[in-house]
Structure 1
Amino acid sequence: MKVRTSLILLSLCVAQFGCAPLKSTSTAVDTLSAAQLNPFGRFILHEQRGLELISSAVHFGFSFEGPTCRIYANIPSRTGHNYLQYELDGLYQKRIKIEGSSTEPIEIQVPEGKHELKIFKATEAHTGPIFISKVEAKEIKSTPIEAAPMIEFIGNSITCGAAADASELACGAGEYHDQHNAYMAYGPRLSRMLNVNFMLSSVSGIGIYRNWNSEGPSMPQVYEKANFQENGTTLWDFGTYRPDVVSIALGTNDFSNGDGKTPRKPFDAEAFVSNYVKFVSLVKSKYPEAKVALLSSPMVKGAARTKLQDCLNRVQAQIDAMYPNDKVVKFFFEPMEARGCTGHPSVEDHLILAEQLKPFFKSLIK
């Protein structure tokens, strides 16, 4: 992966978002401001509100001396809630619920000594952003972005890790995002297996030409918006990262029968293939050097599974004809009986998906 230098990132940040100047983290300090963090994923840095975490599993890290650290996080809705989750010294710990009404920092207690902490957004962009204003701890230093290959995972609720984790709140209870666990989704798990960087560009219910229970906006209509919202006013800067591989896993919702209430036309293979080809061309225009991988869906079964695979074969053939020197590749999942909420893969199922994908992606990573 190729990441822009700090100087270029800083100049873009100041020009586009008016963020405060980046301070050196080479010496021990007690506070890291939002501008001193090194996030990975979709984010925006604001002068007043700090670091806006947008996409599923967008993350940052820091080292510090125990026994405690404080994370100043907030969300826009006073009556809502959202979730972070964290990894301590390389081991996953738990999710952290952020109440919109809370004014207190998140305090994490650890044993004495030096530690490495990684903070992840557990939920997706459509759940809403989480803002980080600062982090406090003894001898705190921001973790730099590792020089490693990168995979961008484009997809739907499966890629988000939605409805995967009912360990804290049972399926059917609470809000939709109460069972989100982006850290345990197949993309991040696969990336940890391969020791690569990753970014999730995913939206629940979304498809390539239609969504779960609506005609749109589909992924091609929101992909360029920083927050994946059709009415989003900020465009994502695709020069921020240069993935080596872009994984596209769309189709589950295009094949869906919908919610049973909204009128639903039969699946349109021509519209699916046409929109998919245009979207792959868009991705290639953003990342000319990246390898594009087309993934099927473990949730689509029977005749629909065969039709989805046929459509992906057609997409591959058309893209390869357009880009003969940069052919796409594809992977077909085995059908899965999902054990998560509302027919989604569970945390355990995501491990199975990651294991299926491991040899395929290992061959694509240089």
Structure 2
Amino acid sequence: MRNRYAYLIAVLCALQIGCTAVPGTSGNQVQELPATALQPVGRYQMTNDQGLELISSAVHFGFSFEGTQAQVVTSLPNPRGHSYLQYELDGVYQKRIRVSGPQDTLVITAPSPGKHTVWIYKTTEAHSGPVMIRKVTGPKLAALKPASQPLIEFIGNSITCGAAADPSEVPCGTGEYHDQHNSYMAYGPRLARAVNADFILSSVSGYGAYRNWNNNGPTLPEVYEKVDFQDKNPQRWDFSRFTPQIVSIALGTNDFSDGEGKTPRLPFDSTTFVNRYIGFVKNVKAKYPKAQIALLSSPMMNGNRKQTLENCLSAIKKEIDAAYPAAKPVALHFFKPMRATGCTGHPSVEEHGIMAAELEPFFKKLL
């Protein structure tokens, strides 16, 4: 009788939420929710062994459980590597969790019994490597569908990634580059939450519109269509998976950079910057014909560079608006200059909050 009961539970579970019952103690039965049942928002791919590969910064998925504890089983391609996840429990942000090696487990502990919702976010960016989700275990599991909210895609560089923003656990100048990433607290996700929108981050540290921080490419426009923003990867991202209402593009900081002081660096070329940027915006519009395009300047610039970037963005807007007279006009936002106090001159978590607050009325009008 006991075996028949366990079999019935497993069948019902598979029919309803795609999970599998496993032996547990008395009370709520422990189940397994396979990675294939999860519904992530952001860049991801399913692997041949049915794992969910989280790729882009802040790519996220949700699930619910009943009881006091659930576990997320993870793995990394590099057995000696590490990365980070972050999570919300019942709508409240909790913390970053370091995940390491060929298998690790993120334990979610609720303060009381009952039904709970969890949203998991990849903290680090695509170039830091993927984080694999193998399964979720816990009582009465169910995958959560993405919220029926407007979707904003944020395209940019390290600032958009939330890179070098959070030295609370690993001080600046120590550890590895991604140890100070905090994509959940970056300006894009914070802004999206403030205006009741969902979000995707399509961003790579050091990349620009026509040249990068310390080299001439490949640039963000050149890798945008690659699933993991890696130039040599032949696999392309399927843009039909999501339809953003707004596409926010914030490029230019690295184009204006003087580089690392070793690689030869020509003066900034406004004509090349504008032409490459226009080409990229047209490519984005081809992917999302109905999306509103918003161009953001850089809070890292002041003086002549700030003015030059703003002039370039105004020229880009003029060209795009003329090329698409029936579309919504390109929206521009010019940041107030900021003296960043995060690692290596990047905005800190607190300064990302300032940026998000500055952008909030601008995006509310667009929505």
TM-score (norm 1): 0.91
- Please list, as runs of the form range in 1=range in 2, the aligned pairs for 1:159-198 lying within 5 A after superposition: 159-198=160-199
Q: 1:27: Cα distance to partner? A: 8.5
Match of 1:109 in 2: 109
Aligned to 1:136, the other structure's residue is in SS state: strand
Match of 2:17 among 14, 25, 34: 25
1:49 Cα deviation after fit? 4.8
In the alignment, the residues of structure 1 paired with residue 58 and residue 136 of structure 2 have an alpha-carbon distance, to the nearest angstrom, of 18
Distance (Å, rounded) in 1 between the aligned partners of 2:91 and 2:217: 39
Partner-residue secondary structure (3-state), 2:271: helix
Greater Cα shift, 28-37 or 238-247: 28-37
Q: Distance in 2 between matches of 1:59 and 1:317?
A: 35
The Cα of 1:359 is off from its aligned counterpart by: 0.5
Q: Secondary structure at the match of 2:79?
A: coil
The residue number in structure 2 matching 1:238 is 239
Aligned partner of residue 353 in structure 2, secondary structure: helix
Alpha-carbon deviations, 1:60-118, whole Å to 9, x = none? 011101221111101101111111111111111111111125x3422222222221111
2:72 and 2:137 in contact (8 A); partners too: yes
The question of whether the paired residues in 1 share the 8 Å contact of 2:164 and 2:178 is answered with: yes
Provide the residue aligned with 1:70 in structure 2.
71
For each residue in 1:212-266, what CA deviation from the matched residue of structure 2 results, as whole angstroms up to 9, or x when unmatched?
0000000111000010010112110110011000000000000000001111110
Which range moved further: 279-288 or 92-101? 92-101
Letter in 2 for 1:95: R
Give 1:38 shift.
0.8
Letter in 2 for 1:109: T
Q: Distance in 1 between matches of 2:15 and 2:121?
A: 23
Partner Cα separation in structure 1 for residue 312 and residue 15 of structure 2: 50
SS in 2 for 1:105: strand
1:203-218 alignment to 2 at 5 Å?
Answer: 203-218=204-219
Task: Select which of 325, 346, 358 maps to 2:360.
Answer: 358
Alignment gaps of 5+ in structure 1 = 1-21
Alignment match, 2:123: 122
Equivalent pairs counted in the alignment come to: 343
Task: Confirm or deny: 8 A CA contact 1:49 1:131 kept in the other structure.
Answer: no
Q: Distance in 2 between the 1:225 and 1:104 partners?
A: 28
Residues 233-312 of structure 1 aligned to structure 2 (within 5 Å): 233-312=234-313
Residue 148 of structure 1: aligned partner: 149
How many angstroms apart in 2 are the aligned matches of 1:184 and 1:76? 26
SS of residue matched to 1:188: helix
SS at 2:97 equivalent: strand
Secondary structure of the residue aligned to 2:121 is strand
CA contact (8 A) 1:66 1:109 kept: no
Given the two structures, how large is their TM-score scaled by the length of structure 2?
Answer: 0.91
Higher deviation after alignment, 106-115 or 317-326: 106-115
Q: Distance in 2 between matches of 1:23 and 1:261?
A: 60
The residue aligned with 1:227 is 228
Whether the aligned pair in 1 keeps the contact of 2:208 and 2:251 (CA below 8 Å) is yes
Structure 1 counterpart SS, 2:68: strand
User: What amino acid sits opposite 1:240 in the alignment?
Assistant: R
Cα shift at 1:352 = 0.4
Specify the code of the residue in structure 1 equivalent to 2:125: E
Closer, same or farther: CA 210–362 of 1 in aligned 2, 3 Å: same
Q: Which amino acid in structure 2 is aligned with residue 317 of structure 1?
A: K
Q: Which digits, 9 at most, give the CA deviation of each residue in 1:303-323, with x for residues without a partner?
A: 100000011111111111111
Give the letter for the 2:17 counterpart. T
Note the C-alpha offset of 1:28: 9.1
Larger-Rg structure: 2
> For the Cα contact (< 8 Å) 1:124–1:203, is it kept in 2?
yes
